[in-house]
Chain A
Amino acid sequence: MAKSNKPIVWGPFAAGGTVTAFVTPALIVLTLLVALGATPELLQYDALLAFMRHGLVEVVAAGVVFVSLWSAAHRLRITCYDLGVRADTLVATVVYAVALAGTAAAIVYLSRL
């Protein structure tokens, strides 16, 4: 039996699941801190902006955005299938395209910082 090529789409999905498990709680805490007006010195807007402008950080950020969006897209694709939507190729094309478009938008935005 032929080996599946599923790892192409599953690899970034698994990576995204792992990354978002760490990044999402951090983002929630950060957002709450900002909302409460209790932002620590280190996480002030100017400090973060300078940090995000670093080339390496931009690359990592783009990577994090890509795997997170991809992970959500893949999860949605599987969920659709399990819910009985059997047009898998169509669903896959749409959700992955959205993830890639989001990644492209993030890259454009990051490069303009």
Chain B
Amino acid sequence: MGERQVELEVLRYNPETDREPHFQRYSVACREEWVVLDALNHVKETLDPTLSYRWSCHMAVCGSCGMMVNGEPKLACKTFLRNYHGVIRVEPLRHFPIERDLVTVIDDFVAKLTRVKPYLIPKEPKSVEAGEYRQTPAQLKRYKQFTLCINCMLCYAACPEYGLIPDYLGPAALSLAHRYNQDSRDGGRGERQEELASKEGVWECSFVGACSEVCPEHVDPAAAIQQVKIRSTLDWYQEHLMPWLKK
């Protein structure tokens, strides 16, 4: 396996001592098959133990290592160094406040996720004795893709609308809500619609599609949002033009 010297330019910010974030250069001897996270770990172990960043699984599952690599939102554990030439610039995820170095404050996303109730809300109470829910492969297929979200927030860093309008619920929260709406066991769509069909819900989306481009799990949040728009539009016509259909 080959080795090469990689120049990393990492954004540093220490809230206790720094007034402004600044870049710091590290020259790291990296192995050919390393990802950006390996390089950061190497820096932390051998050059600078003060460097802070989040990670856990190193296999694109936990969603904690999202950061900007040369201006693009990436999972550091899935971004191979061999695909880059020259200095690699590593910054915290765009559109989020910086807590320290590459660590961002994610409270806004977590609060939004909570608001859309991303869990099963059964249609009616069902006792354990009544047995399990059954689902056909076709019913599973309707929502399976949207279950793959790992909450890495790359889509929020990519979304220009979220940058412009911080109140926007954003791609991951919307597609996770859609995941439960699409589930045949779920009866919570009416409750979720209060958030989803609001102005800060799907209607802030102008279908840029950047979320789907950067999603490391191919969830395609843009598709979920468009599907919610169609459903919400049908709801609207039903509520306003055919009120007699109301349950």
Indicate whether A and B interact.
yes
Q: Looking at the complex, which one of A7, A81, A82 makes contact with B233 (CB distance below 8 Å)?
A: A7
Contact at A81–B206, with CB atoms within 8 Å? Answer: yes
Chain B interface (Cβ < 8 Å from any Cβ of A): 160, 164, 193-195, 197-201, 203, 206, 208, 229-230, 232-233, 235-237
Alpha-carbon gap, A77 to B194, bound state (A) = 26
**Are the C-beta atoms of A1 and B195 separated by less than 8 Å?**
yes
User: B203 contacts which chain A residues (CB < 8 A)?
Assistant: 4, 6, 10
Q: Mark A1-21, 1 if CB is under 8 A from B, else 0.
A: 111111110110010000000
Q: Report the 4 A-B pairs with minimum CB-CB distance, sorted nearest first.
A: A7-B236, A7-B233, A1-B198, A6-B203
Which residue from A2, A7, A82 sits with its C-beta under 8 Å from B198?
A2
A78 interfacial contact with B, CB 8 Å: yes
Most buried by A among B200, B208, B233: B233
List 7 other contacts, CB 8 Å, given A6-B199, A7-B235, A7-B236. A1-B200, A4-B201, A6-B203, A7-B233, A10-B233, A11-B233, A82-B206
Say yes or no: B206 contacts A10, CB within 8 Å: no
A residues less than 8 Å from B233 (CB atoms): 7, 10-11, 14
List of B residues within 8 angstroms of A78 by Cβ: 206
Partner of A8, one of B199, B200, B230, B236: B236
Segment 2-46 of A: residues with Cβ below 8 Å from B: 2-8, 10-11, 14
28 A-B pairs with CB atoms under 8 Å apart are A1-B195, A1-B199, A1-B201, A3-B193, A3-B194, A3-B197, A3-B232, A3-B236, A4-B199, A4-B201, A4-B203, A4-B232, A5-B236, A6-B199, A7-B232, A7-B233, A7-B235, A7-B236, A7-B237, A8-B236, A10-B203, A10-B233, A11-B236, A14-B230, A14-B233, A82-B160, A82-B164, A82-B208
Near B by CB (< 8 A), chain A positions 55-100 give 78, 81-82
Q: How large is the interface on A (under 10, 10 to 19, 20 to 34, 35 or more residues)?
A: 10 to 19
How far in angstroms is the closest Cβ of chain A from B64? 30
Taking CB atoms, residues of chain B closer than 8 Å to A14 are 229-230, 233
- Bound CA span A3–B232, Å: 9
Kindly provide the distance from the CB of A34 to the nearest chain B CB, expressed in whole angstroms.
Answer: 34
Using CB atoms and an 8 Å cutoff, list the residues of chain A in contact with chain B: 1-8, 10-11, 14, 78, 81-82
Q: How far is the CA of A82 from the CA of B209 in the complex (A)?
A: 14
Bound CA–CA A78/B161 (angstroms)? 11
Distance of A33 Cα from B11 Cα, bound (Å): 59
Q: Give the CA-CA distance A4 to B164 in the complex, in Å.
A: 19
Q: How far is the CB of B245 from chain A (nearest CB, A)?
A: 16
Given A10-B229, A14-B230, A14-B233: A3 touches B206 (CB 8 Å cut-off): no
In the complex, chain B residues whose CB is within 8 Å of the CB of A6: 199, 203
Q: How far is the CA of A82 from the CA of B163 in the complex (A)?
A: 11
Nearest-Cβ distance from residue A5 to partner chain B, whole angstroms: 7
Chain B residues with CB under 8 A of A2: 198-199
A residues in contact with B229, CB < 8 Å:
10, 14
- What is the distance, in angstroms, from A84's C-beta to the closest C-beta of chain B? 9
Chain B residues contacting A8 (CB-CB under 8 Å) are 236
A8 to B235, CA, bound (A): 11
Which of A3, A8, A10, A14: most chain B Cβ within 10 A?
A3
Complex Cα distance, B132 from A52, in Å, reads 58
Q: How far is the CA of A6 from the CA of B202 in the complex (A)?
A: 10
